[in-house]
Amino acid sequence: MILAWIDMSYNKLKHLPGEKGHFLLGHFREFLHNTTGFWNQMKAKHGDLYFIKVLHRYSVNLTGLQTNKLILVDQAKDTQNKEAWETALSDLFPNSLMLMDGEEHKYHRSIMLDAFKKDAMQGYMDIMPAIISDTIAGLKGKDLVHFFPFYKSLTLRLATTVFFGLDNHADLDKVNQAVTDIVNAAASIPLKLPGTTYNRGIKGRKYLMSFFRSLIDERRSQPGKDLFSKICMAQNEDGKTFSDQEIVDHLIFVLMASHDTTAITLSFLSYFLAKHPSYQDEIRAEIEGFDQHKAAVSDLRSLDKLSEAMKETLRIHPPLTQVLRKLNRDFEIEGHHVPSGTVVTCTMQMTQMDERIWTNPQTFDPERFSKQRKEHMKCPFAYAPFGAGQHHCIGYAFAEMQIKLVMIELLTQYTLTADPSYTVPVKDVPLKQPTDDLPINIHANM
């Protein structure tokens, strides 16, 4: 039955450029261990559209300059998010926004948006600076910091405080381990056997479900400024609210998405600033005198240099390197007929490094996002680190706020340096991250 399904999928796509790969695994090993290298190799051989097989499933990779806009924005109504992602995510993130489409997605997103409006965002910002200052104070006396685990610890503390009102909760280590297990499971072979990475992820989800359920009644009766309270109390224009299970499902996904992706972006931003001291100095000059303890959310928008460096970091190293959709109808893409039912992959990692858009794309050059150059405007949605269209990341503004507040505190107190010969090793999936924990030297500012 499975082999027949595989053959049928291949027969639907065999008229397209591409390769089947290994008989059983397809391109799973290449995809897992050197994703960007594999994509570059396939693009050089087959062009901007080609099919691949990862484990049992065939899909079509898209790297054309217009395909993000076509699939994620212009023709989004003719695609499905849920069926594209559910093979990898249905056990780990059921009922999350990523696994919803149509009216269901619109309904849930409308309620979630209430937790990211202006007043709510200011409430989160009022909470964060003290936590950031306290955590960065722990770097005093250190000469070398492994920044990836440091940022994971910091962003977990921020998430559990800002999102859930649980600063220094006794179970933070268990929460962190559960999130780590879920993320690792998302890129593993989906075998629900004892001891497997996938099974550890499912256990991590069960722990978080129990943990969050135990807090819902308290948040409803005594709501605070945290996002947990906002989601418990949020309602759409028709006055509808979430059930307990819906709250838990959304919280687990929000925790994973905000915790790891923000830590990843902070890590790579720190790496680039350590390797490019002139940009670091420009940002330090820009933030001089900026008091994040008294600032409004809108004040962060004036920090152009920091914004440009953050955007350039997200261009080179987007935490999520690809977005999947399943086609509801036949499409013509890059001169090829792609049949209904095909899962297509919009590869942000490729379009954000495409030399047809970007000047010297391998080079860290924040000024490409300046008001004068605007390279990201050359091709709409080729730059899309937070996705695009109706599934654009709902928490992107919160992530940006968090990243800026951390960097303001860090660069005010410290200068980051790295050996000129050091190049950070990177793993691309399930989320892009440094594999050596990112050792960076720090020096206290006088």
DSSP labels for 325-389?
EEESS-EEETTEEE-TT-EEEE-HHHHTT-TTTSSSTTS--GGGGSTTT-GGGSSTTTS-TT--G
- Domains defined for the chain, CATH in brackets: 63-444 (1.10.630.10)
What pLDDT is recorded for position 238?
81
pTM over 0.85: yes
Per-residue pLDDT tens over the stretch 227-241: 788 888 888 778 888
| Residue ranges in the chain whose pLDDT is less than 70 | 1-8, 88, 167-170, 187
Structure-block tokens of residue 333: 């893409």
Best CA proximity match to 350, nearest among 403, 428, 296, 430: 428
Instruction: Please list, in sequence order, all residues whose beta carbon lies within 8 angstroms of the beta carbon of residue 47, skipping any fewer than 6 positions away.
Output: 17, 334
Distance of CA 271 to the CA centre of its chain: 18
What pLDDT is recorded for position 130?
93
What pLDDT is recorded for position 268?
98
